[in-house]
């Protein structure tokens, strides 16, 4: 089926869209309705359909499918609950890109003998806990997914109890709330805010000479915890928090909080913000002639697009994915991603790619080697606990190794990046709690 044919179905009324949605859900491709044409082609090529448009909307509505799998291959359903619509849809787009690329590579290489991976994507509508729980129930009860990948700290916390009760393995590669740590069946491949925010204060004091700090943070668990960590670290390092500005996630007008920040005259502003919000804050701060340096916990290409040249000088301390890193693992991923999507990947793409390619695939292989059925709910969870107990280290597209711990936290590289002339430039990395400046 071509992208054009899919678009025809989308524009021919509710009934036909329902037919298409039903078909897509059957094969774990609901997100094709939200993806761009190139990604939709990729999904269909990977998964299942060669049905013609006539077969889909004909009187009988009979479906002709042409599986891309070898005869006798079993499928392992992989669930993912992401922001496919709403203010955070950018996240869903880039995260599913990483997931789809990893699954393509695994399936095409026949890396898991006798099995193919099938991705089932569900939408939490950019932070709707009710939508997330509904999606999680569908993935468990209907799709029978033994493992689910999630995003957003609040959403992951909302669906974790259900994952624990049903013994489903849960991964988070996007949320940063420290309350994600120590939760049954949940493993995080993203550094959490309570790990990164103290480093932001350390950078502000040691490298920027800050005495007075202001904070701008959004009022979900990640932002609140980042703000608390900033205040606690300031007390230890002798700096003063002169202003705190909470705001609602997804805001675009920061004129009021920025007016208060300017009046407080801080040396540095530290953000407990993520996504498009960062771009809007930095842009509007520069427009209001706020001279304080701005340090954050994230830096994405869409943030630079929003702020344009005003993003120059912004510094971020976060999981250290550098697409220009000179190591084979990173460059292999970057090359494959650029070929598939025509863009350089960021760290969300990297996180969700390596979650499937470098964490989940070895886990499934180990499970099969142990004589267990990876499709049976609870089996992957038990095997994951064994690997964690052994101190197993996974290859990482960040370079080096990734290690998951019993409390669900992760050890991986952390770096300091700055925007210069519209480009993200690595200026330091963290080693043993200290900053090592780039050459």
Burial 30-39 (b: 16+ CB within 10 A, else e): bbbbbbeeeb
**DSSP-assigned letters across all residues of 266-298:** -SEEEEE--THHHHHHHHHHHHTT--SEEEES-
- Asked if 117 and 363 touch (Cβ cutoff 8 Å), the reply is no
- Asked if 154 and 83 touch (Cβ cutoff 8 Å), the reply is no
CA neighbours within 13 Å on the CB side: how many for 131?
17
Give the pLDDT of residue 72. Answer: 54
Give the pLDDT of residue 129. Answer: 97
Model pLDDT for residues 345-377, shown as the tens digit of each residue: 998 999 999 999 999 999 999 999 999 999 999
Model pLDDT for residues 35-79, shown as the tens digit of each residue: 454 555 554 444 443 333 333 333 333 222 233 545 457 999 999
Residues 303 and 211 in one domain: yes
3-state SS class at 73: coil
Examine residue 280 and state whether it is found in any structural domain, yes or no: yes
CA 197 from chain center: how many Å?
Answer: 19
Residues 180 and 82 in one domain: yes
Residues 169 and 116 in one domain: yes
Examine residue 262 and state whether it is found in any structural domain, yes or no: yes
Residues 80 and 166 in one domain: yes
Give the pLDDT of residue 10. Answer: 41
Helix count (H) and strand count (E) of the chain? 16, 16
Q: What is the pLDDT along the chain (439 residues), one digit of tens a residue?
A: 434 334 333 433 333 343 344 344 444 444 444 445 455 555 444 444 333 333 333 333 322 223 354 545 799 999 999 999 998 999 999 999 999 999 999 999 999 999 999 999 999 999 999 999 999 999 999 999 999 999 999 999 999 999 999 999 999 999 988 899 999 999 999 988 888 999 999 999 999 999 999 999 999 888 999 999 999 999 999 999 999 999 998 899 999 999 999 999 999 999 999 989 999 999 999 999 999 999 999 998 889 999 999 999 999 999 878 899 888 999 999 999 999 999 999 989 999 999 999 999 999 999 999 999 999 999 999 999 999 999 999 989 998 889 999 999 998 889 999 999 999 999 999 988 999 999 8
Residues 269 and 393 in one domain: no
Residues 300 and 427 in one domain: yes
Give the pLDDT of residue 58. Answer: 36
Residues 93 and 115 in one domain: yes
Domain span holding position 220: 193-319+414-437
Return d(Cα 149, Cα 400) in angstroms, integer.
23
Residues 88 and 179 in one domain: yes
Residues 108 and 175 in one domain: yes
Report the CATH number that the domain containing residue 217 is assigned in CATH: 3.40.50.2300
Residues 310 and 337 in one domain: no
Return d(Cα 399, Cα 407) in angstroms, integer.
23
Examine residue 368 and state whether it is found in any structural domain, yes or no: yes
Examine residue 126 and state whether it is found in any structural domain, yes or no: yes
3-state SS class at 177: coil
Examine residue 333 and state whether it is found in any structural domain, yes or no: yes
Examine residue 51 and state whether it is found in any structural domain, yes or no: no
Burial 355-369 (b: 16+ CB within 10 A, else e): bbbbbbbbbbebbbe
Tokens read off for 142: 């209907």
Examine residue 136 and state whether it is found in any structural domain, yes or no: yes
Residues 379 and 432 in one domain: no
Examine residue 11 and state whether it is found in any structural domain, yes or no: no
Residues 299 and 205 in one domain: yes
- Asked if 172 and 187 touch (Cβ cutoff 8 Å), the reply is yes
Give me the number of domains the chain comprises: 2
């Amino acid at each position: 089926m071509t992208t054009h044919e899919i678009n025809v179905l989308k524009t021919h009324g509710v009934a036909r869209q329902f037919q298409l949605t039903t078909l897509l859900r059957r094969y774990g491709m609901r997100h094709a309705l939200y993806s761009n044409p190139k990604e939709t082609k990729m999904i269909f090529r990977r998964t299942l359909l060669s049905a013609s448009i006539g077969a889909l909307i004909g009187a009988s509505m009979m479906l002709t499918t042409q599986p891309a799998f070898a005869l006798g291959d079993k499928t392992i359903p992989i669930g993912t609950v992401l922001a496919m619509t709403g203010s955070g849809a950018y996240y869903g787009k880039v995260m599913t890109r990483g997931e789809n690329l990893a699954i393509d590579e695994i399936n095409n290489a026949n890396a898991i003998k006798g099995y193919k991976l099938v991705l089932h994507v569900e939408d939490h509508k950019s932070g709707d806990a009710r939508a997330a729980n509904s999606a999680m129930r569908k993935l468990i009860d209907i799709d029978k997914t033994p493992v689910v990948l999630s995003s957003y700290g609040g959403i992951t916390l909302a669906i974790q109890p259900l994952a624990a009760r049903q013994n489903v393995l849960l991964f988070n590669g996007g949320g940063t709330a420290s309350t994600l740590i120590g939760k049954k069946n949940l493993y995080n491949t993203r550094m959490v805010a309570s790990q990164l925010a103290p480093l932001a204060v350390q950078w502000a004091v040691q490298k920027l000479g800050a005495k007075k700090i202001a904070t701008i943070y959004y009022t979900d668990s990640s932002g609140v915890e980042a703000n608390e960590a900033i205040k606690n670290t300031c007390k230890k390092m002798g700096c003063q928090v002169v202003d705190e500005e909470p705001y609602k996630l997804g805001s675009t007008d920061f004129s009021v909080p920025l007016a208060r920040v300017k009046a407080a005259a801080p040396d540095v502003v530290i953000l407990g913000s993520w996504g498009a919000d960062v771009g809007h804050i930095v842009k509007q701060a520069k427009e209001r002639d706020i001279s304080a340096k701005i340090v954050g916990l994230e830096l994405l290409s869409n943030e630079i697009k929003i702020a344009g040249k005003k993003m120059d000088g912004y510094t971020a301390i976060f999981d250290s994915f550098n697409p220009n890193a000179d190591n084979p693992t990173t460059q292999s991923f970057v090359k494959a991603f650029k070929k598939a999507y025509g863009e350089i990947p960021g760290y969300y793409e990297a996180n969700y790619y390596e979650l499937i390619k470098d964490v989940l695939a070895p886990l499934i292989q180990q499970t099969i080697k142990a004589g267990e059925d990876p499709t049976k709910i609870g089996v992957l969870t038990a095997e994951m606990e064994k690997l964690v107990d052994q101190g197993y280290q996974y290859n990482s597209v960040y370079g080096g190794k990734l290690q998951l711990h019993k409390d669900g936290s992760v050890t991986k590289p952390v770096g300091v990046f700055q925007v210069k002339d519209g480009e993200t430039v690595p200026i330091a990395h963290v080693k043993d709690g200290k900053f090592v400046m780039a050459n």
